[in-house]
Amino acid sequence: MLGNAWLYCNLPGSSDSQGTGGVTDGKGQKWQMRVPAGFHFVYKKQHGEQDFRLATTSITCDSGPVVVALLQRGVMKPADLGL
């Protein structure tokens, strides 16, 4: 089973360089940014049973926008990325 979601976050450092007002989630909570995320669930049928059980879960996120924001805020340096 696959799923897509938004990952909301607040980041350390000054957000002056961002120039954004932030975003609001579905519950009305304010966040500094959101990035796309995905979920991959693998279910397996249990031997001799009718049940399926969760075998593995994988959660992924596009870290690019977060890394750019951290670089702009001075929280990270290019050297931290090996550049």
Domain ranges of the chain: 2-81
**Type of residue found at 54:** L
Q: What letter would DSSP give residue 70?
A: H
- For the entire predicted model, the pTM comes to 0.68
Task: Choose between 82 and 49: higher pLDDT.
Answer: 82
Give the residue-averaged pLDDT of 2-28.
83
Give the residue-averaged pLDDT of 29-42.
94
Q: Please tell me the predicted confidence (pLDDT) of residue 40.
A: 95
Q: Please tell me the predicted confidence (pLDDT) of residue 55.
A: 94
* Paired sense of beta strands 52-61 and 30-31, if any: unpaired
- Is residue 49 within 8 A of residue 63, CB to CB? The reply is no
Q: Please tell me the predicted confidence (pLDDT) of residue 16.
A: 58
- Is residue 36 within 8 A of residue 65, CB to CB? The reply is no
- Reply yes or no on whether the pLDDT at 20 is more than 70: no
